[in-house]
Structure 1
């Protein structure tokens, strides 16, 4: 059995592979293992430094000639509820998200498969089995949770749970300074609800109620249609060579922000 050191993390570099966001480019990643008693602290530090988590691995892009992937986090304080976002929030006011421990279920996997088949049939996760899914959810040494979204029922105000079919799921890490949305999926037949946007809005409100200042959304790639939606959530910070900076000020080249 392979053993990974838990006191001092060791970092590794992947071989080049086709970039999933920009055609004709190659990507490389640097990664380390999140295991042992210090995994939570390490996940905090690495997420704040632009890493993402997948199971017990933390990774970030390490491409030699490209810096297109930009880490993004939304600032909860002063979040701008623009008209389009308010409409989506109101459209889904009949839903409730039940927060629970990171444990897989058959209902989750059924929805996950429908989502992949409809939205990412040719993606890297398309062949994931039920065992692969279970590992994605529960193979973690950090503070993480699953939020299941269903329609509100008659007892929702008492137990905080919905009723009926599962409509969306979010796998989310709880950090010292925010919530990090690791992976989310939703009913592909409910397009009118804009569930992907709603889940982010719901996490912004969850972070506010938990007294956490940020929601981490992973990477944004300018010019990638897959990533355009992340720009809607403002104010937001982008991680630059000089640390986290306000996205609008960074574009304007303001050195004081």
Structure 2
């Protein structure tokens, strides 16, 4: 069996493939494995350096002719709600998010499948089976939680948990300096709730309550409509050649 050391991880480079965000561009990624007892420490360091986690792999873009992908993290302790975000929180005041161990369920996959079919039918994840989904959730060597969002029920004030059908899910890594939103999805028939935004706002609240400074959102791709929503959550920092820098953009 091949062993990987957190102190000297091996990095690999993928072959070029069509970019899913910018037409006409090709992407390459550098990646390493996140395994063993030191995986949480390595995941912290790599995430702070612009990597993302997918199962037991940490990766970041390494494209030859493009630098459009920029790592984004929200400053949770300084975050201020916009009027629209306050409306979204009010709209979803009947929901409770419950953090659970990184264990998949058929109920989660049902929501996941409906989300992919409605929002990402032609994406790279469109053909994921229930076994693929289970691997996405379970194959982690870091502190990962599944946060399930359900409506409040009669006993929620006692249990602190939502009840009834599952409406949204976030796969989230707990790190030393914040929360990293690995992947999130929701019932596509509930578009009016803005559940994607609501889950990000809930993670900001969770990070701030825990005294953690950051919520990592992955990559913002300037010029990609799919990623435009990420710059709405301010203040935030972007990772550039000189490290993490507060992002400034005219509205």
Partner of 2:133: 133
Residues 163-202 of structure 1 show CA distances to partners (whole Å, capped at 9, x for unaligned) of 1110000000000000000000000000110000000000
Aligned counterparts of 2:19 and 2:235: Cα–Cα separation in 1:
28
Q: CA RMSD in A?
A: 1.0
Displacement, 1:4?
Answer: 3.5
Q: Which secondary structure state, in structure 1, belongs to the residue aligned with residue 81 of structure 2? A: coil
Displacement, 1:78?
Answer: 1.8
Runs of 4+ in structure 1 over 4 Å off: none
1:87 correspondence with 2:84: no
Q: Which secondary structure state, in structure 2, belongs to the residue aligned with residue 189 of structure 1? A: helix
Partner of 1:222: 222
Aligned counterparts of 1:156 and 1:227: Cα–Cα separation in 2:
34
Which runs of 5 or more structure 1 residues have no equivalent in the other structure? 253-257
Partner of 2:198: 198
Partner of 1:64: 64
Partner of 2:48: 48
- Tell me the TM-score normalised to structure 2 length: 0.97
CA contact (8 A) 1:75 1:214 kept: yes
How many residue pairs get aligned? The number is 249
Displacement, 1:131?
Answer: 0.5
Q: Give the alignment of 1:123-202 within 5 angstroms.
A: 123-202=123-202
CA contact (8 A) 1:72 1:217 kept: yes
Partner of 1:36: 36
Aligned counterparts of 1:38 and 1:195: Cα–Cα separation in 2:
34
CA contact (8 A) 2:95 2:162 kept: yes
Which runs of 5 or more structure 2 residues have no equivalent in the other structure? none
- Tell me the TM-score normalised to structure 1 length: 0.95
CA contact (8 A) 1:6 1:37 kept: no
Aligned counterparts of 2:53 and 2:3: Cα–Cα separation in 1:
17
CA contact (8 A) 2:77 2:212 kept: no
1:107 correspondence with 2:107: yes
